[in-house]
Amino acid sequence: MLRWLARRIIAAALVVFVVTSLVFVVTHVFTDPATVSLPLEATEEHRADRRAALGIDRPLAVQYWDFVSGLVVGDLGESFWQDQPASKLVLERLPATLKLVAGATAVTVLLAAPMGMLAAWWERRFADHAVLGFSMASISAPPFWIGYLLIIVFAVQLGWVPTFGSRGFISLILPSFAIGLASAGRLAQMTRRGIVEELRKPYAVTALSRGFSRSYTIVHHTFRNVASGFVTMTGWELTRMFTGYTVVIEVVFAWPGVGRLAIHAIENRDLILVQAAVVVLATLVVVTNLLVDIARRMIDPRVELA
């Protein structure tokens, strides 16, 4: 187990390294932070000054070395727009994003697990079709639109919750649902499918033939076998949240997270800060995948030692 874990961690670190290097290629080879930060009509003299100020006049190899050695100690460069270390700015915003993802994950799991079980229990009956209907609708609607609909109904019309910002637990509810509904729709279908498929497997047929009821067989025989898939899928949903949903939803709800910071950084032509935000989010994705693998091994000891 320990050797497997060590190997898995090294592989994850390698992925982070490759991803960040790719980001460096985009931000320093194809273009550079100085060019991006200046308007097109800036004079050549102006550009040279900016390059020197940002250290971009040095050879690429030196810049890359700086970038990599900075990464190792958590230095992601200086934000041109805010005049502060980029890593500090991103890390300040990180708790808000994590809170949002936690809320969305809670919504996802609390909706998906019961809906998936209902659909599997009443397979091909009304409840199953209803859950399928919910899933199709929720994965077809853009999350940011769901966000605005929730705002229109619950904040504007009913006035139950504040519209924007992050003031306490209440304001977390709408954005969590805006993100979580689509994830719940996908996960509910996966849960249903998992239970239904497990129930057809020979070991479940054996249990049923011994006179155990369907509910007993589902709960005591199939759950553990479904759990590993459920954890994996939840992990995938988490990565979707980190890399897509939160960015858009933070904009909709004016949520002070990493995604919105990145969008503001783009608007202010601050390539270094965008790069820092992207590196941090990509690292979160890799860490999530790692945690999912560990959880799966704990649930099912037969998982390959890949």
Partner 1 sequence: MTAVDDTMSSGADTGAADAAPPEGVTVLSDLRSHLRKSKAGISGILICSVFAVVATIGPWLPFIKDPAQQSLPDKLTPPVGWGGTWAHPLGTDQLGRDILARLIDGARISLLVGLAAVFIAAILGTALGLIAGYVGGKIDTLIISAADVQMAFPGVLAGLILVAAFGPSVWLVIIVIAISSWMVFTRVGRGLVLTLKTSLFVEASELSGAPSSRVMWRHLLPNLVSSLITLCVLELAAAILSESAFAFLGFGVQPPRSSWGLMIQQGRNYITDGWWIVTFAGLAISIVVLGVNLLSLWLQSFNDVAEREQIILERPGG
Partner 2 sequence: MSTTNGNGRTERLLEVKDLTVGFPTRDGIVRGVDGLTLNVGSHERLGVVGESGSGKSVMGLAILGMVLPPGRIMGGSVRWRGEDVLDPAVANRVRGREIAMIFQDPMVSLNPLKTVGSQLRELLQRRVGLQGSKIKQRSLELLDMVGIANASERLRAYAYELSGGMRQRVMIATALACEPTLVIADEPTTGLDVTIQDQILTLLHDLSTELGMSVLMITHDLGVVAQFCDRVQVMYAGRIVERAPINEMFTDPQHPYSLGLLHSVPRVDRDDGELTGIPGEPLDRAQFPPGCAFEPRCNEASDGCRDTPPPLLKIAERRWVACYNRTPAGEAPA
The binding site for partner 2 (CB under 8 A) comprises: 123, 200-203, 205-213, 216, 220-221, 224-225, 300, 302
Nearer to partner 2, 3 or 302 (CB): 302
Nearer to partner 1, 233 or 274 (CB): 274
- Residue 23 binds: one of partner 2, partner 1, none (C-beta under 5 to 8 A by kind): partner 1
Alpha carbon of residue 33 to chain centroid:
27
Radius of gyration of the chain (CA): 24
- Residue 224 binds: one of partner 2, partner 1, none (C-beta under 5 to 8 A by kind): partner 2
Nearer to partner 2, 21 or 213 (CB): 213
Q: 121: part of which helix (H) or strand (E)?
A: helix 86-121
CB 67, CB 55: distance < 8 Å: no
Looking at residue 67, its amino acid is F
- Residue 263 binds: one of partner 2, partner 1, none (C-beta under 5 to 8 A by kind): partner 1
CB 270, CB 80: distance < 8 Å: yes
Cβ 117 to partner 2, closest distance in Å? 18
The CA distance from 94 to 114, in Å, is 31
Q: Six-digit token pair at 198? A: 């497990």
Q: Six-digit token pair at 241? A: 């949240």
Cβ 211 to partner 2, closest distance in Å? 3
Alpha carbon of residue 15 to chain centroid:
17
- Residue 300 binds: one of partner 2, partner 1, none (C-beta under 5 to 8 A by kind): partner 2
Site of tokens 């041109």: 80
CB 227, CB 78: distance < 8 Å: no
CB 51, CB 44: distance < 8 Å: no
- Residue 30 binds: one of partner 2, partner 1, none (C-beta under 5 to 8 A by kind): partner 1
Cβ 193 to partner 1, closest distance in Å? 8
- Residue 281 binds: one of partner 2, partner 1, none (C-beta under 5 to 8 A by kind): partner 1
- The residues that touch partner 1, with contacts defined as CB under 8 A, are 15, 18-19, 22-23, 26-27, 30-31, 36, 120, 123-124, 136-137, 139-145, 148-149, 151-152, 156, 196-201, 204-205, 208-209, 214, 217, 239-240, 243-244, 247-248, 251-252, 262-263, 265-266, 269, 271, 274-275, 277-278, 281-282, 285-286, 289
- Half-sphere exposure (CA, 13 Å, Cβ side) for 227? 16
